[in-house]
Structure 1
Amino acid sequence: MKNININVKTLFLSLLLSGFFLVGCEQYLDQDPQDSVTEAVYFKTAEQFENASNYFYTRLSYEDIEEASDLSGNYTTPDYGQGLIAPVDSDDIWKKNYSYLRAPNQLIEKAVDFPGDPLDISAPVGTAYFFRAWHHFTLLQRFGGVPIVTRALDVSFEELYAPRNSRYEVIFQILSDLDVAIAKLPTANNVEQGKISTEAAKAFKARVLLYEGTWDKYVGEATDGDGINSGAGSAKPAGYPNTTAMLTEAKQLALEIINSGAYELWDQRSALGEDHLFYLFNLEEGSNPIGLTKADNKEFIIQAVYDFSFRNLNKNTSHAKPVTPSRELMDTYLCIDGLPVQHSPLFQGYDNMTDEFQNRDFRLKSFVKEPLKEYWGRGNSIDGGGAQYDKTFATSGVNFDYRYVPELSTISVGRNIGYQGRKFVSEQKNREGNSASPNWPLLRYAEVLLIYAEATVELGNGAISDADLDISINKIRERSGVAPLTNALIAPFTDLNMLGEVRRERSIELFGENVRFDDLMRWGIAEDELNRTVSLTYIAGTEYETADNPKNPSSKIYNPNGFPLGLTTSEISVSTYSGIATTKPGALILDIGANRNWTKARYLSGIPIDEMKLNPELLQNPGW
Structure 2
Amino acid sequence: MKKLLFAISVTGAAFLATSCQRDFLDRLPEDRLSEETFFKNENDLRIFANRFYSLMPVQGHTSDDNSDNFVPRNRNTFLAGTYTVPNTGGGWDWTNERQANYFLNRYQRAEASDAVKQRYAAEVRLVRAYLYWRKVVQFGDVVWLSKDLNEQSPELYAPRNPRKDVMDSVLADLNFAVEHLPVPASAEQDRFNKDIANAMKARICLWEGTYRKYRGLPGATEYLRDAATAALDVINTGNYAIYSTGNPTRDYVNLFLQEELRGNKEAIMARRFVKDVSMHNITRQISDVWPSFSKNFVRSILCADGLPISLSPDYLGDDTPENERANRDPRYTQLIVTRDYVVTQNADGSADKITLPRIPAVVTGYASAKYKSPDPLQWVANQSTLDLFVLRYAETLLIYAEAKAELGEASQGVIDQTINQLRDRVGMPHMNIATLVKDPASDFPALPVLLDEIRRERRIELAQEGFRFDDIIRWKEGRLIANPETILGMKLTPALRAQYPASQVAGIQVDANNYIRVYTDITARTWNEKLYLYPLPLQELTLNPQLAPQNTGW
TM-score by length of 1: 0.79
The separation in 2 between residues aligned to 1:26 and 1:604, in whole angstroms, is 36
| Conserved 8 A contact 2:6-2:273 | no
Amino acid at match of 2:416: D
Q: Residue 467 of structure 2 aligns with which residue? A: 515
Secondary structure of 1:47's partner? helix
Tell me how far 1:147 sits from its aligned partner.
Answer: 0.8
Tell me how far 1:130 sits from its aligned partner.
Answer: 0.4
Q: Residue 209 of structure 1 aligns with which residue? A: 205
Tell me how far 1:92 sits from its aligned partner.
Answer: 5.1
Residues 122, 606 of structure 1: alpha-carbon distance in 2 compared, 3 angstrom cutoff: same
Larger mean Cα displacement after TM superposition, 77-86 or 205-214: 77-86
Q: For residues 568-607 of structure 1, what are the structure 2 equivalents within 5 Å?
A: 569=512, 585-591=513-519, 596-607=525-536
Amino acid at match of 1:444: R
Q: Residue 538 of structure 1 aligns with which residue? A: 491
Q: Residue 227 of structure 1 aligns with which residue? A: none
1:373-424 CA-partner distances (Å, limit 9, x unpaired): 04133xxxxxxxx554x7132xxxxxxx53342133x4xx4x4431211112
Tell me how far 1:517 sits from its aligned partner.
Answer: 1.1
Give the aligned length: 538
The separation in 2 between residues aligned to 1:71 and 1:356, in whole angstroms, is 17
Tell me how far 1:322 sits from its aligned partner.
Answer: 5.0
Tell me how far 1:146 sits from its aligned partner.
Answer: 0.8
1:290-332 CA-partner distances (Å, limit 9, x unpaired): xxx3224222324444333333224443235554311111111
Q: Does 1:281 align with 2:291?
A: no
The separation in 2 between residues aligned to 1:78 and 1:169, in whole angstroms, is 32
| Conserved 8 A contact 2:261-2:270 | no
1:442-487 CA-partner distances (Å, limit 9, x unpaired): 3311111111111111111xx7322211011111111122111112
Tell me how far 1:137 sits from its aligned partner.
Answer: 0.8
Q: Residue 398 of structure 1 aligns with which residue? A: none
| Conserved 8 A contact 1:69-1:530 | no
Tell me how far 1:126 sits from its aligned partner.
Answer: 0.8
| Conserved 8 A contact 1:84-1:596 | no
| Conserved 8 A contact 2:4-2:190 | no
| Percent of pairs with identical residues | 28
Residues 27, 359 of structure 1: alpha-carbon distance in 2 compared, 3 angstrom cutoff: farther
Q: Residue 298 of structure 1 aligns with which residue? A: 265
Q: Residue 357 of structure 1 aligns with which residue? A: 325
The separation in 2 between residues aligned to 1:170 and 1:26, in whole angstroms, is 33
Secondary structure of 2:91's partner? helix
Q: Residue 577 of structure 1 aligns with which residue? A: none
* 1:245 corresponds to which of 207, 214, 222: 222
* 1:187 corresponds to which of 183, 187, 204: 183
| Conserved 8 A contact 2:183-2:194 | yes
Residues 257, 370 of structure 1: alpha-carbon distance in 2 compared, 3 angstrom cutoff: same
Q: Does 1:623 align with 2:553?
A: yes
Residues 27, 478 of structure 1: alpha-carbon distance in 2 compared, 3 angstrom cutoff: farther
1:338-387 CA-partner distances (Å, limit 9, x unpaired): 1111222232322333122222222222121112x04133xxxxxxxx55
| Conserved 8 A contact 1:375-1:404 | no
Tell me how far 1:503 sits from its aligned partner.
Answer: 0.7
Q: Residue 419 of structure 2 aligns with which residue? A: 473
Q: Residue 507 of structure 2 aligns with which residue? A: 562
Q: Residue 403 of structure 1 aligns with which residue? A: 354
Secondary structure of 2:356's partner? coil
Tell me how far 1:258 sits from its aligned partner.
Answer: 0.9
The separation in 2 between residues aligned to 1:595 and 1:602, in whole angstroms, is 16
Q: Residue 10 of structure 2 aligns with which residue? A: 16
| Conserved 8 A contact 1:336-1:482 | yes
| Conserved 8 A contact 2:484-2:524 | no
| Conserved 8 A contact 1:335-1:482 | no
Secondary structure of 2:545's partner? coil
The separation in 1 between residues aligned to 2:90 and 2:288, in whole angstroms, is 22
The separation in 1 between residues aligned to 2:270 and 2:212, in whole angstroms, is 28
Larger mean Cα displacement after TM superposition, 300-309 or 333-342: 300-309
Q: Residue 504 of structure 1 aligns with which residue? A: 456
* 1:456 corresponds to which of 372, 396, 404: 404
Q: Residue 159 of structure 1 aligns with which residue? A: 155
* 1:269 corresponds to which of 246, 260, 278: 246
The separation in 2 between residues aligned to 1:449 and 1:537, in whole angstroms, is 32
Tell me how far 1:527 sits from its aligned partner.
Answer: 2.6
Residues 353, 13 of structure 1: alpha-carbon distance in 2 compared, 3 angstrom cutoff: closer
Q: For residues 37-436 of structure 1, what are the structure 2 equivalents within 5 Å?
A: 38-62=34-58, 65-91=63-89, 93-95=91-93, 98-192=94-188, 194-220=190-216, 242-270=219-247, 274-284=249-259, 293-315=260-282, 316-321=284-289, 323-371=291-339, 373-377=340-344, 387-388=346-347, 391-393=349-351, 402-408=353-359, 410=360, 413=361, 415-431=362-378, 432-436=380-384
The separation in 2 between residues aligned to 1:252 and 1:116, in whole angstroms, is 32
Residues 244, 66 of structure 1: alpha-carbon distance in 2 compared, 3 angstrom cutoff: same
The separation in 2 between residues aligned to 1:350 and 1:495, in whole angstroms, is 16
Residues 504, 483 of structure 1: alpha-carbon distance in 2 compared, 3 angstrom cutoff: same
Tell me how far 1:197 sits from its aligned partner.
Answer: 1.3
The separation in 2 between residues aligned to 1:493 and 1:104, in whole angstroms, is 47
Amino acid at match of 1:9: K
Tell me how far 1:135 sits from its aligned partner.
Answer: 0.7
The separation in 2 between residues aligned to 1:370 and 1:505, in whole angstroms, is 21
Tell me how far 1:257 sits from its aligned partner.
Answer: 1.1
Q: Does 1:608 align with 2:504?
A: no
TM-score by length of 2: 0.89
1:48-100 CA-partner distances (Å, limit 9, x unpaired): 212222221122355551215222133224323334322112335322xx111
| Conserved 8 A contact 1:368-1:421 | yes
The separation in 1 between residues aligned to 2:171 and 2:219, in whole angstroms, is 13
| Conserved 8 A contact 2:251-2:426 | no
| Conserved 8 A contact 2:68-2:480 | no
